[in-house]
Each structure stands twice: as structure tokens, then as C-alpha cells.
Structure 1
């Protein structure tokens, strides 16, 4: 099936959805991801008329996604995209019902222990940063590993978000701001990155991280900076060769370090910008001292071998 045929059939609905997302203030990355998810779904139901799309069509699509290897998290994201799509069409007075509204999300595995780097490995990661744009790239990696920023948050960061009091004001998921007071060492790196920064060519916008062409550094490039640094780390520490590491795992490493340093779960939730404390609780399973002490209490009660 050709893409233009789907666009001809559902172009009006996709345009309405795009307008709705812009009015909601959704980030560019979310906007693109939702349109992509909805586009794949519409390919599966083409050429069904929009008002005739039913709950069964969506359930059939979700089953197809599972057959093609999509996990629970991926399918739940696709379902969220479709719910938003039909909700948008209702609010734009183009449809009267949301066929995705009553479809239950897949149950995801809870309390999975996230992949992370140990503190000594983070130190090696820092030493693995090399290249022409060392100061800029070091600031990016440090913000993810020692301030817990998401890739998209690093991408959206502007010069004015780094305040004179040494804190950064971060626009996170759900268009919510949070304030992170930075340690002096990290402040120093950001100040150095500002001095080393190329002038922006984006008019009034003053992105903190700028490409060699004077444009806001893309999400893809920020991921590449992190991934290349991680690759260098694996060359230095072959024991990490089989570990599934990525830019987002640096955020996991930050959360792990905070828990091990005694940070309470509510404060960590604020630092990470999680909407629900349940999301933050996965990190308590990494180094739960109470559980360890509880098991130590019975260590002397285990019978010795005769």
C-alpha cells in the first residue's frame, strides 16, 4: 500500500489531529511519535471510512502488533496514541465516539530492575568522552548521568534555563517544569559549555546546546553523543560488552546513585519529574537496605551442613 493513498483517505483527520496536538502544546518528538503510530494503524484499516472504525479494528491491530513482536510497553504507547487521535477528532467535532476509549492496556511487568551503571563505571564513562566538541558533549553526558535529564529535556534546554543560583529549570513530560539544584562541579561544566558554545542562528531562541551549524542540537545527535561515549566505555570495560546500555540508562544510573546515597523516594520523584511515585519505586529494589537487613537477621538461623 502506498503512503499517499492513506493520506488521501485520512488526510483531513490527520491534519485535525496535528492541529489539536499543537494546541495542546505537545513536544515535537511526541507529535511525530503519535502521528507515526496513528499512521500505521490507519494503514491497517484502509480504506474503512473513519466513522465506521470500531473497537474490533483496534483490537485486531493490537493483536497484529503483538504478533510482530511489539512488547507490552510499545503496544500501550500505540493505544495511547489512538486514544488521543479519536479524542482529538471528537473535540474537533469530526467524530462522536472514541472506539479506543474502553480498550484495556496490556499489563506490564512491574518492578523490573532497570539497567544502570555503577559509580565507578560512570567515572570511567566521563573519562571516555573525547573529540572536538569535548566540553559540549561532556556537559550533555553529565546532565543525563548526574542530573537525571531525559534526552528530550537536554534537547529543549535553553540558555535562560540555567539560572544564576546554579539551578536548571527543566521542561519535562506533560509540559511540567521542575527545578534541579546542580552541584558546583556540574555548574562549572555548564558555565564552560556556555563559554564554548557557538552562536545560535535561530532568531530569538537561545538553545543551550548548539550544533556546528548554529542550530539547536537534535535529539538524534544527543543520543549519538551518549551512545558513542558508551561504546568507548565498553572498549575500556569489556565486562559491559553484553549490557544493554543507552542514553536513557544514564538516567537510571542517576536514580540508582541517589537511592544508594539515602535520597528518599518522594525527593527522587521530584528530581526525575515522574508524575506517579509508582514509576520511581522501581529504583528502591536496586539497593533496599531494609530488605538486606531483614535477610541478615536470619542468617545465623540457617542450619549448618553436617
Structure 2
């Protein structure tokens, strides 16, 4: 076992290859994609000595198990979870040496939703439009991992980090999303705007990489009918006919016909990626200074 590759033994509920995504192609109908918790992905890359744009694995809820074919350095971050090498406990949130042929297991998330695995050299599947990210909406990039998938790895570009402890943000016990009014806020009543800013919501179990769906009070329309499809941005808060807000995440469609009542501050989207179903959600209206 001397070739640089990673064999997937247990793929888990949903494990995908992700990097910084493919921005700049919305005019072609291609979403940005990329790691939902971008700071977590960047941190594990830094821990193993990878460049920030190196591709990592993003797991969902119940982790995955992989077997490198050569000795590698790995780091697991994002949602806290158990990490083992051949059944022996290993560090989470720090560089770990894994011998070729050993089984690296990433366990169920103890909190949060998505864990990130970086491997020295990065995952080097063929890029599409400049990115190795899996896009669940368009189908671009590699398919979600399956048991038996073999992923190529690059050569290490530098030594792993030497650290005693690295601060990791905890998954949110309450998701606070700062928003500015969206381009179609006038499609809603004043009462709806007050509801969005004052009433509690919760993360729905129907959430995914495309959007964080919410449960809570419906937002009342001031206008009937639907819009012609128009451009959508990352963080847009779209309101479908049931009146419950949906926050668009990395794999969101680039156009849509439901009105956008608000847009989330990009700095809050990493926390949204780690908000488990049932997590309370508060939308906080902010104003930009002129």
C-alpha cells in the first residue's frame, strides 16, 4: 500500500468532497457550492499543512470511515465527534498520523451536523469549472461518496501544524441570523416583517445543503401571485407558499420565483451549517450605515 489514495469503507449518511466552491458561474445556472462550514474546512486544511483551497471531506451527522493506502496526516474538525485509528481513540481538532492500511473512523456528531476531514495533500478528484466540490443541486463534481469509492490524494505541500490547542467554535444552541431587508420585502405585510424579527423559529429536519428550512409562524403576503424567476444569492431568505422562511446555502438555485424577504449576513452562514434540526432560530434585522 504505497499509492496516495483514500478508500471509503463506510460512506455515512452523506459524505461529499468540498473545497471553496465555484463562484462566478451563476450566469450559467451553476451554484457556488463548497464547504458549508467554510472556516472549519479551512482550519483542518491548515492543521495538516494543506493550502486553503485543498479539497476535504464533509460528513453529515454520522461520519464516515476511510482507509488511506499510504501514511498520511489527517485532521477532523467542524462538528465534534469521536475519532479512532484502528479502533484506538485519536485527537479531534488536531493533526493525527494515520499509517497506510489503518482504518480511520469519524463518529457520530455529538453536536452540530457536519464534520470535516482534511488529509495531507488534499483530495485530488478531477476539478469541474475550477472546483472539486460536489454540488447536490446541479450534479456537478464527484458523486456523494459510496462504500468502496477510492479517492486520489495529492502530495503534501508542507509540514502539519504544531499546536497544543486550537479554538473551535461550538455548534449553536441558538442560531442567530443577522439579516438586511431583501429586494422583495414589500411583498409582505408589516405584520410579517415584525413576525420575522420578533418570533422564534426552529431548524427543520428537511434542511440540506441547498437550504436551511425553518418551522414557525407563517409570513403573511401583502401581494398575491408569484414573481418571474430572478437571481438568487447565498444567504437569501426566500419565502415559499407555506410562509416559512428558507435560508439559501451553498448549493442553492441561482434563480427562483418566490419572494426574498431578507438576506443573511455571510458571517452567520457557517453557524447555519452546524445548526441541528430543532435548534431555535432568531432573525435579527440590521441596518447598514450610509
When the two structures are superposed, what TM-score results if normalisation uses the length of structure 2? 0.29
More helix by share: 1
More strand by share: 2
Structure with higher Rg: it is: 1
Q: Which has the higher contact order (CA 8 A, sep 6+)?
A: 2
